[in-house]
Amino acid sequence: MPDLNLTLISHPLCPFVQRAAIVLLEKDVVFERINVDLSAKPAWFLTLSPTGKVPVLKVRQADRDDTILFESMVICEYLEETQGGPLMYPQDPLARARHRAWIEFATQTLTDGWQFLHAVDAATADARRTAFRDRLRKLEAELGNGPYFAGAAFGMVDAVYAPLFRYFGIIDPAAAQSVFEGLPRVSSWRKTLAARPSVKDAVVADYAERFRDHLRQHGALIAA
């Protein structure tokens, strides 16, 4: 058995954890994964995580104490800099900066998408769908011929957006169509990401049912 030098502390539904898991899987890194209950956070987890959030990556070192990393992109960039496997960023500094800018753009895009999915009334759902589609239109204008964000190679931007797009393969297809209609490049990108082995394997086998249960528990209109 290989040494398990990396432990990813996780929650089954967290999209930010999925970013790190996808990068680990893309780079074929052996790692341990421990899920925590964020509704009843254990004391050991709160000791490790300064923010009380996941993901957290524990890095074991032979000659010193374990190092704890938190925040998804900090973890992803550490993995990019220290692990083998395919590069997740372009080598050209300007292209790399552009990719990081679109990763930053993902933060509010995820927020708008999440608020649409969790809307409990039609007015809020319509407003959040509009806000989300406005951001997707900007992505549509930026995307090339694909199949991935930067062309033929899967990269960090793809790893960041894949967890967001995953939601829309779980909800009612008609609701998803209302979001992605008229956005052919984003729609194609979403389907390509959904088929990627690392994206599939970044979540537990019953993820879809867990997420539907989550929406029902929160009274989301889309789950009705």
Per-residue confidence (pLDDT) for residue 224, from 0 to 100: 75
Q: What pLDDT is stored for residue 1 in this prediction?
A: 34
6-82: which CATH topology? Glutaredoxin (3.40.30)
Distance between alpha carbon 91 and the CA centroid of its chain, in Å? 23
Identify the burial level of 85 via C-beta atoms within 10 angstroms of its C-beta, where 0-12 means exposed, 13-18 middle and 19 or more buried: middle
- Give residue 83's pLDDT: 96
Instruction: Reduce the DSSP state of residue 44 to 3 states and report it.
Output: helix
pTM for the model stands at 0.96
DSSP 8-state symbol, 176: H
Contact between residue 150 and residue 192 where contact means Cβ atoms under 8 Å apart: no
Contact criterion met (CB below 8 Å) for 31 and 201: no
Would you state the pLDDT for residue 64? Answer: 87
- The stretches in the chain having pLDDT less than 50 are 1-2
The answer to whether the CB of 194 falls within 8 A of the CB of 169 is yes
Domain boundaries, the chain: 6-82, 93-223
CATH of domain 93-223: 1.20.1050.10
**Span 18-56, pLDDT tens digits:** 999 999 999 999 999 999 999 999 999 999 999 999 999
